[in-house]
Amino acid sequence: MGAADIVPGVSGGTIALVFGIYEQLLDNVRRGARAIGSAVKGDLRGAIRHLGTVEWGFLLPLGLGVGAALAVLASLIEGLLETRPEEMAGLFFGLVAGSIVVAWLLLRDRTSSDLLVIAAVGAVTFVLLGFQSGPVGDPSPIAFFGAGAIAICAMILPGISGSFLLLMMGMYAAVLGAVHDREASDLVSLGVFLLGATVGLALFSTGLGWLLDRYHNRVLAVLIGLMIGSFRVLWPWPNGVGIISDVEGESISGTGLDWPSTDRLWLPLILGVVAFAVVVATTRLTPSGGGDRNRPSAPAPARRR
């Protein structure tokens, strides 16, 4: 999930969906959000009670893995996006395509209205991802807080990339530069960014969880539409996944659409097919088979006397 969150166009929530831990992650984040809410109100007993319901054996290793990937892989993935943009785009295109299949299988009932929602959300997302802002010069702490609050939502929202949201807000270069440089002022900025991410994650997870509990199929249809729309950012040709020239403020492109020449077609295509196959195979190997352990199961048949 951490590696996916680095790449504009790929969401950590997509990876959670592939491995069948999406709703478990969302539930635990909601429990943590309730604890924060109780603490803010001065209800320490309530906060402790809610913290006791969090599956720390699941959440802590996951958080450590995300943090480690962000720290270790940021430079590697950035370099690959610069030097091999089309191949990387093909790889992630296949990954998201496989994730769409996973989400489609999670739909409990497939109706024509679900298909209409998927098509509408996909079309709107495709159009909106064609816009992006120029880099923000010398952003204020408020800008870092807001960027963290908005971008973190992508961690639990398949199909929307936190990195690309930062691109659209013009904050990608500033955040990535702070991660790279790690000077005193950068650490303060990162702290404010993480604070905004915590607040945004608590608020958004509560709302998304409420919707998923009551409108499971509609929410999944929206998520599928978001992933389909994200193909605009992941289309390998001509620019791949948001080419990053540097972190000093050059514009970052990744929404150009073109058809490749024959010599540039095959490697991204092969990588995409391999990524698609790996995602589908992974869902077969997970205990939930690509589903979610919190998803209601069919009632057991009555035993005959």
Question: Is 173 a domain residue?
Answer: yes
Question: Is 290 a domain residue?
Answer: no
Residue 119 has what pLDDT? 94
Residue 211 has what pLDDT? 86
> Each residue's pLDDT tens digit in the chain (305 positions)?
888 777 766 778 878 877 888 888 888 988 988 888 888 888 889 999 999 999 999 999 998 998 888 888 877 877 787 788 888 888 888 888 888 888 888 787 888 898 999 999 999 988 877 765 555 667 888 888 988 888 888 767 776 667 767 776 778 778 877 776 666 777 888 889 989 988 888 888 888 888 888 888 888 898 888 888 878 777 888 656 554 444 444 444 555 677 777 778 888 899 999 989 988 887 776 555 444 444 444 344 444 44
Question: Is 297 a domain residue?
Answer: no
Question: Is 56 a domain residue?
Answer: yes
Whole-prediction pTM value? 0.67
Give the Cα separation of 70 and 195 in Å (integer): 17
Question: Is 304 a domain residue?
Answer: no
Question: Is 300 a domain residue?
Answer: no
Strand partners, 243: 253
Per DSSP, 108 falls in state: S
Residue 302 has what pLDDT? 46
Residue 247 has what pLDDT? 41
Residue 17 has what pLDDT? 78
Residue 304 has what pLDDT? 45
Residue 53 has what pLDDT? 93
Question: How many domains does the chain divide into?
Answer: 1
Per DSSP, 302 falls in state: P
Question: Is 104 a domain residue?
Answer: yes
Question: Is 25 a domain residue?
Answer: yes
Full domain range(s) for residue 219? 2-285
Residue 164 has what pLDDT? 67
Amino acid at 139: P
Give the Cα separation of 177 and 179 in Å (integer): 5
